[in-house]
Amino acid sequence: MILESGPNCKSGLCVIKYSQIISLRGRYIPMFCQDYDTLVQTFEKRGFTVHSAASAQEAKALVLSLVGAGASVGLGGSMTLAALGVYEALTASGHTVYDHAHSKEPDIYQKENAADWYIASANAITRDGRLINIDGRGNRVAGMITGPREVVLVIGKNKLAANEAEGRLRAKNVAAPRNAKRLNLKTPCVGDGKCHDCTSPDRICCVTSIIEYRPYWVNAFHLILVDEELGY
């Protein structure tokens, strides 16, 4: 299922089901969305390297194949990565992994952003090739821009939005309330699942980033598009 826009969609968002299968680069995979080839080409023109995964397990295997032996890895907070067991898989493979979800070191965020690789997800991606993320601390968006020189985002098909406006809507009204509830924060969105543009000290929507092209600092920016719904 993916998010689409249209005149018959309440709040500008609709869920549409697809059962077709397309051929991409010589092999068949279930559709991430309609016009998947066009989506891939759009991101590639913006400097991203796109990988296709038919399942979460295939996505995890892709992550492990990308990260070179002996490389250190920083993980951004991500329910997608938690569902895939990326931390466990990388540590089992002998990598040094920095992850604030598994460490109480006072400088863990700095270590995440100083690693060889940075792996996270996105709150939304758009059909015109933009990555949208909202952070409370800002460490995750910083890690994608001025942190490690190699970046990987694992993205489920539920993260796809038609454009920037709908991507921001998704980030603030789907991802942020769920994360605020998960973290037991005292924000109004925890109660009703809607953004109030609040001024709570626990506000989770403090930093918004829209990546429109691979940042100069990043040597390779990998997007693993997964034909499953993953994360928030």
Residue predicted with more confidence, 22 or 131:
131
Residue 3 clears pLDDT 90, i.e. is over it:
no
Mean of pLDDT values over 50-54: 94
CATH architecture designation of domain 2-226? 3-Layer(aba) Sandwich (3.40)
Q: In the prediction, which pLDDT does 4 show?
A: 36
Contact (Cβ atoms closer than 8 angstroms) between residue 217 and residue 146: yes
- Domain spans of the chain? 2-226
At residue 164 the predicted structure's pLDDT band, cuts being 50, 70 and 90, is very high
Q: In the prediction, which pLDDT does 31 show?
A: 61
pLDDT for 116-160, tens place per residue? 999 999 999 999 999 999 999 999 999 999 999 999 999 999 999
Three-state SS letters, the chain: CEEECCCCCHHHCEEECCCCEEEECCEEEECCCCCHHHHHHHHHHCCCEEEEECCHHHHHHHHHHHCCCCCCEEECCCHHHHHHCHHHHHHHCCCCEECCCCCCCCCHHHHHCCCCEEEECCCEEECCCCEEEEECCCHHHHHHHCCCCEEEEEEEHHHEECCHHHHHHHHHHHHHHHHHHHCCCCCHHHHHCCCCCCCCCCCCCCEEEEECCCCCCCCEEEEEEECCCCCC
Whole-prediction pTM value? 0.86
- On average, the pLDDT of the chain sits at 88
Distance separating alpha carbons of residues 129 and 90, to the nearest angstrom? 29
pLDDT for 63-121, tens place per residue? 999 999 999 999 999 999 999 999 999 999 999 999 999 999 999 999 999 999 999 99
